[in-house]
Structure 1
Amino acid sequence: MRMVAVLAVAALLTASSCGSGDDDKPPPSTVEVFTWWAEGGEKAGLDALVTRFNADCPGQRFENGAVAGGAGVNAKQALTQRMARHDPPDTFQAHAGAEMTDYIDAGQVEDLTAYYDSWGLREALPAGLIDDLTVHGKIYSIPANIHRANVIWTNPTVLSRAGITAPPNDLPSFIANLSALKAAGIEAPLALGRDWTQLMLLEAVLITDLGPDGFAGLFTGETDWSGSPVTKAINDFTVLLSYGNLDRDTLDWPQAERLLIDGQAGYQLMGDWEAADLTAKGFPGYGWFTFPGNGKTFQWLADSFTLSTGASNISGTECWLKTVSSASGQQAFNAAKGSIPARTDIPSTGFSPYQRSAMADWKSTTPVPSCAHGSACSQPWQTAVNAALNAFSTTHDPKTLQSALAQAATQFIRE
């Protein structure tokens, strides 16, 4: 017994000595942040946000749960698998808007409404954006940014060699420019990637041919997917595809972007994360313009973050979300990523010429959502549309594509 007592006292003294001094700080708590930001401007933006998080949240450690894949295609599949086995990350990236519906209905994300009040977000964010984020009177995500989807990026050198010196005013002029590039020896004037990037292109054409209200109505049931305006848009879309690279279904957007950088294409339609990515890859001399015929329409999407139901580190996740929502966090993140802040109280100083232009447009143009990026449609609806586009790559049948799109809308609008 005496030996046991001696050992116990020794152990207590050892623990006491190890617990004294500045060197004995508790190990940091890990916050797993699940995103699809794995390269280029997206990764640069995430790194800037993590630096801000490390400064704002001492005692917390960022754990990168990124899964690569444009628009989150691969990440969403991995997240679905984790949710099914009840192994959620502490927080995950999701597109604000309709894409959040499935997570909310499944009880996989927590209500964050109280944070909007305590962190002053109702004053810092546009009222319209907060309305779009609200589901049944509650808010379940915090937006980090605003992106614009309907942007054409250009290689000015390639264009000038074909005698093209100004952006096209309308869709027929754009097609004429594509034809001129082809005549000048550019085999694939329009750089294209896989299904979701083709959906972005189709959406831009739909905005041109239907107008912003008609386009938005496609996702509320007010516009008929079987109507003649959609038929025209699909035919225009088919013409544009004929000027694209034949290997488009095997490329993600950065690989398609490489065609633009290397001078093998003159144009690429992509979200404005491409601005930062082109600069990061040593191609700062790009040009840009809103998709021809879209006029004063801003097709928006927003990356947002959640608090997962069952998160293992709630306090750390709260600190991550507060950093994401803060003026300093959004300044650092968006300046690096190429998007613009969701907050309206951040000056444009320090942002690129493109970002300053987008910040001005966000205040003056007509906003419409994007199915390709979850602000207009749910994930199952998005999956059905991408499947229809994949099938179209094989059948090349516009009527079948329109029928599939109309069938998907009938199914998901009624649900």
Structure 2
Amino acid sequence: MTDANEGSDVSRRDYIKAAGAGTIGVTGLAGCMGGGGEGESTTTTDSGSDETTESMDDGEETTTEESSNYETLEVQHWWTGGDGAAAVEALFEGFAEAYPDIEVNQNPVSGGAGQNLETVIKKRVLNNNPPSSWQAWPGANLQPYVAADKLEDIGDSVWSQNGMKDAYLEGPKEAARPGGNFVTVPLNIHRINNLFYNVSVVEDAGVDPASIETPGDLVSAMETVESETDAVGMAHQTSSAWSTTQLWATVLLGENDVETYNSFAEGNVADNEEAVKSSLQTVVDYTEHVNDDAGSVSWTEANQKILNGEAAFFHQGDWAAGMYRGQDGFEFEDDWGHVPFPGTEGVYALNMDSFPFPTNNPSPEATTKFLQYVGSVDAQERFNPKKGSIPPRTDVPSDAFGPFLTRQMDDFQNSDSQVQSIEHGLAIAPDPKSNISDAMASFISNWNVDNTYQQLTQAFN
């Protein structure tokens, strides 16, 4: 998995840059961001269409239109290779089976871990020429679009279908309504609060990962690993800041609680000074036990050290497991294992891909059908096993998912709470998220807790 890792920072500065190429000027955009907005909805619903209803095998409903007068559905995404390409192909194969009369134009934009696509989308949205839908991280990432009145309320047209509101847990539903109304449909979930490990290394060291209760206890476990084996305690990369931001946010969650994590994400940094500084210091403590080449390797190269037995532990989103599952003879539980990151038992930290419904939609009826399908059991059962993610619906059968993803599904469905990813911008709007990224870039260059804390306190200003 290589396409859902690095954060795609969508800042207001980016919107202003994009506005120069669009028909909406900077002044008009600022007004939209302040709660006004240009561009009325051109959305139409299917309430007046002639249709018959057929029952699918899984008990959901799909529709077969008597008329094929749909506009072409244009969907943009960044899944152009690897597991993402296979998964999105399966998604559109299923959609074609359900709606053979809808012509689909997949218009992918590769590169930049989604940043290239985001640049294209911003320009098109500002020009009132959006695609029918696009791959987007939900939650606070979409707040600028909501504030500019560029996304439609799909609570009735989409979320009232296929039992979606009952099948989605509150965390994904919250991410789908960043402004209070449902504007997007999550398709998958990648968990953030994971701790992976090499079974042989921890067994040789006499360390039981399931017994590590706190982020601080993990330091002691890594010290034991290094005293008893030739492996380093933790594989990590610091060639870019996103992995450390993700690690720090997980430590913040593990050392404290969901309330503290969410309070920080809401901008209450000074109110949580002790928690923020302690979690930063814990990350500094971790760096005493990471690979010497952390500053020059990618996350995949760091992860390779788990495969090679050169490191005991690895914190990463569960896309990291794709490398393990793709390695012949490297089996779950026999060769590699997983536990929730210490201190986060019962919490599922979410990163998700979703598909929003823009205003000025070029194919409103076809888009409604597509988003209804994205939220269906059939779509999520086809897409997620290939992607190495789990479905946000809780009623998708687990047969095709394998032992690791099935366990993740169980953890998700039994979780006490689901928090949004800070690094991927689900929990924090683009402007402060960009500032946090800057702070963490400084952090990995000097590991100065006090300076980083001061930058974080200013991030939400």
TM-score class normalised by the smaller sequence: 0.7 to 0.9
Contact 2:219 2:286 (C-alpha < 8 Å) held by counterparts? yes
State the shift of 1:64 in Å: 4.4
Q: Tell me the distance in 1 between the aligned counterparts of 2:165 and 2:262.
A: 25
CA spacing shift, 1:40–1:152, aligned 2, 3 Å? farther
User: CA offset at residue 39 of structure 1?
Assistant: 4.1
**2:398 pairs with one of 326, 348, 362:** 348
User: What percentage of residue pairs aligned between the two structures are identical?
Assistant: 25
Structure number, greater radius of gyration:
1
- Pairing partner for 1:44 from 78, 86, 99: 86
Residue in structure 2 matched with residue 151 of structure 1 by the alignment: 194
The 8 Å contact of residues 139 and 174 in structure 2, kept in 1 or not, is answered as no
- Give the drift of 1:375: 2.4
* Alignment map for 1:325-344 (pairs within 5 Å): 325-344=375-394
After TM superposition, give the deviation of residue 141 of structure 1 in Å.
0.1
Amino acid at match of 2:215: L
Aligned residue in 2 for 1:105: 147
Q: How does 1:139-218 map to 2 (within 5 A)?
A: 139-167=182-210, 168-183=212-227, 184-187=229-232, 189-192=234-237, 194-218=240-264
Give structure 1 regions of 4+ aligned residues with deviation exceeding 6 angstroms: 26-29
**TM, length-normalised to structure 1:** 0.81
Output aligned runs, 1:5-16, within 5 Å.
none
Q: Following the alignment from structure 2 to structure 1, what is the Cα–Cα distance between the partners of residues 81 and 223?
A: 33
Per-residue deviation, 1:38: 4.0
Asked if residue 385 in structure 1 is aligned to residue 436 in structure 2, the reply is: yes
Shift of 1:188: 6.9
Instruction: Classify 1:123/1:208 alpha carbon distance in 2 versus 1 (closer, same or farther; 3 Å).
Output: closer
Secondary structure in 1 matching 2:160: helix
Q: Which one has a larger percent helix, Structure 1 or Structure 2?
A: 1
Q: Is the 8 A contact 1:323 1:329 kept in 2?
A: yes
| 3-state DSSP of counterpart to 1:302 | strand
Q: How many pairs align? A: 384
Residues 319-368 of structure 1 show CA distances to partners (whole Å, capped at 9, x for unaligned) of 33222111111111122222222222223333222222222222332322
* Per-residue deviation, residues 355-393 of structure 1 (Å, max 9, x unmatched): 222222223323222211222111222211111111122
Residues 42, 273 of structure 1: 8 Å contact kept: no
User: Which of 321, 334, 359 in structure 2 is aligned with 1:275?
Assistant: 321
Q: Which runs of 5+ in 2 are unaligned?
A: 1-67
Give the Cα separation in 2 of the matches to 1:128 and 1:264. Answer: 36
Distance 1:27 1:279, change over 3 A: farther
**1:16-415 equivalences in 2 (<5 Å):** 31-59=73-101, 60-70=103-113, 72-84=114-126, 88-113=130-155, 114-127=157-170, 129-167=172-210, 168-183=212-227, 184-187=229-232, 189-192=234-237, 194-221=240-267, 224=270, 227-245=273-291, 247-248=293-294, 251-282=297-328, 283-285=330-332, 286-367=336-417, 368-409=419-460, 411=461
Partners of 2:190 and 2:317 within 8 A in 1: yes
Relative to structure 1, the CA distance from residue 239 to residue 96 in structure 2 (aligned partners, 3 Å threshold; closer, same or farther) is: same
Q: Distance in 2 between matches of 1:104 and 1:250?
A: 39
Instruction: Mark the CA change 1:235 to 1:136 in structure 2 (over 3 Å): closer, same or farther.
Output: closer
Q: Residue 135 of structure 1: CA displacement? A: 4.5
**Contact 2:177–2:184 at 8 Å: present in 1 too?**
no
Aligned mates of 2:206, 2:120 — CA distance in 1: 46
- Amino acid corresponding to residue 176 of structure 2 in structure 1: L
The worse-fitting range, judged by mean Cα deviation, of 274-283 and 395-404 is 274-283
Amino acid at match of 1:351: F
Relative to structure 1, the CA distance from residue 308 to residue 301 in structure 2 (aligned partners, 3 Å threshold; closer, same or farther) is: same
SS in 2 for 1:138: coil
What is the rounded CA distance, in whole Å, between the counterparts of 1:196 and 1:375 in structure 2?
14
**CA distance 1:35–1:156, change in 2 (3 Å):** farther
Amino acid at match of 2:444: S
Q: Indicate if the aligned counterparts of 1:92 and 1:308 stay in contact, CA closer than 8 A.
A: no
Residue identity in the other structure for 2:88: L
Alpha-carbon RMSD: 2.9
- Tell me which amino acid in the other structure corresponds to 1:179: E
TM-score, normalised via structure 2 length: 0.74
Question: Judging changes above 3 Å, is the alpha-carbon distance between structure 1 residues 93 and 249 closer, same or farther for their aligned structure 2 residues?
Answer: farther
SS of 1:146 mapped into structure 2 = strand
